[in-house]
Structure 1
């Protein structure tokens, strides 16, 4: 069994996430307290009590999802998990890349929380509300979806933003251009093409102001080589050098999340098990669609944690 630890992105959040961990394990509680202190905000209260619309705000959802992932990791470590000896790689979907780096000891939790707050604010503020949009094109391969985005642009921005799994591509850009992409996709045989309820057009060139903000924030952040290599979203290949990590985290803001290719690359290296750490099962669902030979394990609950430790022989 060769393992990659993976970390979910925005959309996996839900009110109440992490509360059972905090109530059960002091190691988890300590992570939530550390994140609250780093942000100067009782983010944990929003996570556990809502309201949902406040948790869903990009500036809250991003550090919140990271906090749950890292709380889960700390409990696993307290029960004997050593990431370096257990996993060959880490990877994360969009903001999950920050969680992956924190889990691998590349960036400390407090710094990661502050970086994600900057990232969330910058991504939200990069484009006025209503100017941008995203849409899921289902049933089309990535190459066709990218061609559709290019055709739909017509002088505006429309890019393939997320290559999530076979037949699951998200496009991002100006509202009118994304709406055109939906209609073109339907005409070209998409199983479904739907606008997504997101607050900004992530992972396209409209996010350039946010990339600039992250370049500045990351320049001052202390980053160490991770305990195991990070498979970077924008490369679908591993990196370990701190300067390379900084550059790719900046590129990631406007670049395509190459998740399908990342999972296939990992499969090519013999990775057969993907452990999704944090909240939800989005990545676990994608793994089987990308490579039927791979197993996905979602670790969300105390029972999941115990099951994983047992599976690893702990």
Structure 2
């Protein structure tokens, strides 16, 4: 198998995520302890016990999902002798790009946690509640989505935020503009267009105040060259250049998450046959099935998942 590690974004959080690993592997618990110490917060307690409403808050969900992903990677390395360099690439969906960078040694876990806490807070503060929102356009291709967006732009800021998979595009912007785009999507005959239960319009120009905050924070952050190239959200292409990574993390706040393109580049140009999804849930593996039949997804959540994955890698070696 030719491997990429991929890391989920917001929406994959669940109470109890990573708990089995923390209970059974000291290396996983150490990750959670490190994140708690960096943030001065009992985030691991919130992850273990909830409530889900608090865990879902952007400023908590972002570092929590990174912690769950890095716990998987630390257990793979320390307990199953599988290093990130077993992969040809790493990539992450939105906040998952920070998880990917931490997994590849580009960011420390503590710095990734602090940056994601700030990112979550800055994204939440950027737009007053109610002034912006997001919507999923199900069954839309890029052309149909562009037509819906154009209709939305007559009422305000509106753009494609996430190109997740064929037929799964998310738009973001001012509430009135998103409502106009949804109405146009209905006229175009899209299968479904619906608002998402989000607290802010992520990945659109309305997030510029958050991008400014992240620009300042990232300018001061220690970023190392990653052990394997990181496929960036904003370009759907790999890089291992530190200053490029720094710049693209800022651009990512207002820019489109080009996930479908990232997956297709890894498969078609990078020759990837397995995308191992490290962390909570299996959202990326499910989207992969819609995107290509030339690669398979491998969710890595539980100890059993990790053991089977490590055994399969050793068989191939």
* Equivalent-residue separation in structure 2 for 1:88 and 1:282 (angstroms): 21
Matches within 5 A, 1:94-109: 94-109=94-109
Matches within 5 A, 1:1-314: 1-78=1-78, 79-84=80-85, 86-268=86-268, 269-313=270-314
Question: Over residues 230-271 of structure 1, what are the superposed CA-to-partner deviations in whole Å (9 max), with x where a residue is unaligned?
Answer: 000000000111100000000000000000000110111211
* Equivalent-residue separation in structure 2 for 1:311 and 1:249 (angstroms): 33
Q: Secondary structure, in 3 states, of the residue corresponding to 1:251?
A: helix
Q: Secondary structure, in 3 states, of the residue corresponding to 2:193?
A: strand
The alpha carbon displacement at 1:82 in A equals 1.7
* Equivalent-residue separation in structure 2 for 1:101 and 1:146 (angstroms): 31
Q: Secondary structure, in 3 states, of the residue corresponding to 1:228?
A: coil
Provide the TM-score with structure 1 as the length reference: 0.98
Does structure 1 conserve the Cα–Cα contact (< 8 Å) formed by 2:202 and 2:253? yes
* Equivalent-residue separation in structure 2 for 1:181 and 1:91 (angstroms): 30
* Equivalent-residue separation in structure 1 for 2:312 and 2:147 (angstroms): 44
* Equivalent-residue separation in structure 1 for 2:161 and 2:73 (angstroms): 29
* Structure 1: tracts of 5 or more residues without a match: none
Q: Secondary structure, in 3 states, of the residue corresponding to 1:137?
A: strand
Does structure 1 conserve the Cα–Cα contact (< 8 Å) formed by 2:47 and 2:55? yes
Q: Secondary structure, in 3 states, of the residue corresponding to 2:231?
A: strand
Aligned residues: 313
Q: Secondary structure, in 3 states, of the residue corresponding to 1:129?
A: coil
* Equivalent-residue separation in structure 2 for 1:284 and 1:142 (angstroms): 21
Does structure 1 conserve the Cα–Cα contact (< 8 Å) formed by 2:155 and 2:180? no
Q: Secondary structure, in 3 states, of the residue corresponding to 2:171?
A: strand
* Equivalent-residue separation in structure 2 for 1:145 and 1:152 (angstroms): 10
Q: Secondary structure, in 3 states, of the residue corresponding to 2:314?
A: coil
The alpha carbon displacement at 1:154 in A equals 1.1
Runs of 4+ that moved beyond 2 A: none
Question: Over residues 156-210 of structure 1, what are the superposed CA-to-partner deviations in whole Å (9 max), with x where a residue is unaligned?
Answer: 1000100000000000000011011111111102111111000100000000000
